[in-house]
Amino acid sequence: MFLYVLGLVALWFVFRWFKETKRVSNKEDKYVYITGCDSGFGNLLARHLDKLGFPVIAACFTEKGEDELKKISSERLTTTHLDVTDSTSVSKTAALIKTLVGEKGLWAVVNNAGVALPTAPTDWLNIEDYKSMLAVNLCGVIDVTLSVLPLIKKTKGRVVNVSSVFGRITTIGGPYCVSKYGVESFNDSLRLNMAPFGVKVACIEPGIFKTNMTDSVMLKKYVNKLWDRLPQDLKDDYGYMFVEQTFANMDVMSKHILDGDLMKVVGSMEHAISAVHPRTRYSPGWDTKFLWLPLSYMPTFISDKFLLKNYPKLKMSIQ
Ligand SMILES: NC(=O)c1ccc[n+]([C@@H]2O[C@H](COP(=O)([O-])OP(=O)(O)OC[C@H]3O[C@@H](n4cnc5c(N)ncnc54)[C@H](OP(=O)(O)O)[C@@H]3O)[C@@H](O)[C@H]2O)c1
């Protein structure tokens, strides 16, 4: 009986693998619009799709990002400036894309642009900290998607939303998880609403990867900046030892968890764009598969116990 079940499972995996290897044809006519191409996953995806022959519209936040990407890519790749928090900039980019793609329509948009700061315990932050991150990570995703959705409906194309495994489990304070849970929800409603139009919507939920966003030097500098602005009563509650332990945890993360192979994420993005049968969710990274996702399915008292066990100690709790 056991062997019979094992055989069926193996057969299912072979079937799925075979189904997922099929790729769409006429790549050279399939325009792909990617946000946040200055660095990290967005930059690597733009270069990767360019090499594969897709006409890429790479939106960069900075002029420097645009210039550097242009230098190393083919004539097929178009760069443009985009600030996803600015609706005028989003509309201008959509108008440029409309001119570029013409009657063909747009094949895919990849909502990749994002920020991870400020991240800190909830009571260290104010509402402006929340608003600034939600403006990029959530409202930016919604605005960009809506601006090009009519062009994607034309091709029965793809929307790829870059969330995070921290859109499935909350491990840190501040707006990052809040924003990514929002992306998950937007992604799911869009997937259902677009199904009748033949538009496929996929969500990428990476674990922790080595990009500018996870650079521990920059993160530590930012935590110190937040510490400096705290009122004295909060400083007394937490104590600077809390910050030092947070930094020690970051060092452990950098050494043991950070994954340097960005192609795991970029490969998932590429599959969502180019496979005939894309998945609805991708979870690149061993930490996602073997730690965060299983933890997200546990009863809350177990996941809380695990997360609090590794949480830095507060000065007030050891006095
Ligand atoms: N790295 C990870 O461990 C990880 C894990 C899960 C999910 N993610 C998600 O993956 C996506 C890409 O992040 P990454 O790790 O590749 O980090 P990254 O290298 O910092 O890339 C983020 C990109 O977004 C751009 N950006 C920032 N604010 C913007 C704005 N207002 N408008 C347009 N673009 C803006 C950045 O431009 P500048 O470089 O010029 O600031 C940068 O090009 C993000 O959505 C992130 O949340 C990352």
160 Cα to the center of ligand 1, angstroms: 15
Tell me the CA–centroid distance for residue 95 and ligand 1, in Å. Answer: 23
Q: For 312, what's the count of Cα atoms within 13 Å in the CB-facing half-sphere?
A: 21
Question: Residues 216, 110, 89, 101: is their CA dihedral positive or negative?
Answer: positive
Mutate to test the pocket of ligand 1, among 38, 81, 287 (most ligand atoms within 8 A of CB): 38
The rounded percent of the chain whose pLDDT value lies above 90 is 89
* Predicted local confidence at residue 195, as pLDDT: 98
227: CA distance to ligand 1 center in Å? 24
CATH number at residue 42: 3.40.50.720
Atom 25 in ligand 1: which residue has the minimum CA distance? 36
Nearest CA, atom 44, ligand 1 = 114
The pLDDT, as a whole number, for residue 13 is 86
The catalytically annotated residue of 176, 181, 238, 282 is 176
Q: 220 in a domain, yes or no?
A: no
| pLDDT tens digits for range 175-218 | 999 999 999 999 999 999 999 999 999 999 999 999 999 999 99
Residue 203's domain comprises 23-210+261-314
Tally the domains of the chain: 1
The reply to whether 50 falls in a domain is yes
Residue 319 has pLDDT above 80, yes or no: no
pLDDT number for residue 211: 97
**Residues framing ligand 1 (Cβ under 6 A):** 35-36, 38-42, 61-62, 65, 82-85, 112-115, 136, 162, 164, 206, 208-209, 211-214
- Per-residue pLDDT for 38 more than 80? yes
Sorting pLDDT into bands at 50, 70 and 90, what band is 316? confident
Ligand 1: which atom is nearest the Cα of residue 115? 27
By residue count, the chain amounts to 319
Is 14 part of any domain?
A: no
The CB density around residue 155, as the number of other CB atoms within 10 Å, is: 18
Within-domain flag for 91: yes
Q: Cis before residue 231, ω within 30 degrees of 0?
A: no
Average pLDDT score, the chain: 96
| Ligand 1 center to 115 CA (angstroms) | 5
Quote the tokens at residue 291. 């730690």
Quote the CA–CA distance of 20 and 17 in Å, as a whole number. Answer: 5
The pTM of the full predicted model, rounded to 2 decimals, is: 0.95
Least confident stretch, 4-13, 112-121, 150-159? 4-13
Convert the pLDDT of each residue in 74-105 to its tens digit: 999 999 999 999 999 999 999 999 999 999 99
| 96 inside domain | yes
Asked, for residue 40, whether it belongs to a domain, the answer is yes
Asked if residue 232 belongs to a domain, the reply is: no
For ligand 1, atom 36, the nearest C-alpha belongs to 36
Phi (first) and psi of residue 178, to 5 degrees: -55, -45
Domain contains 246:
no
Is 222 catalytic? The answer is no
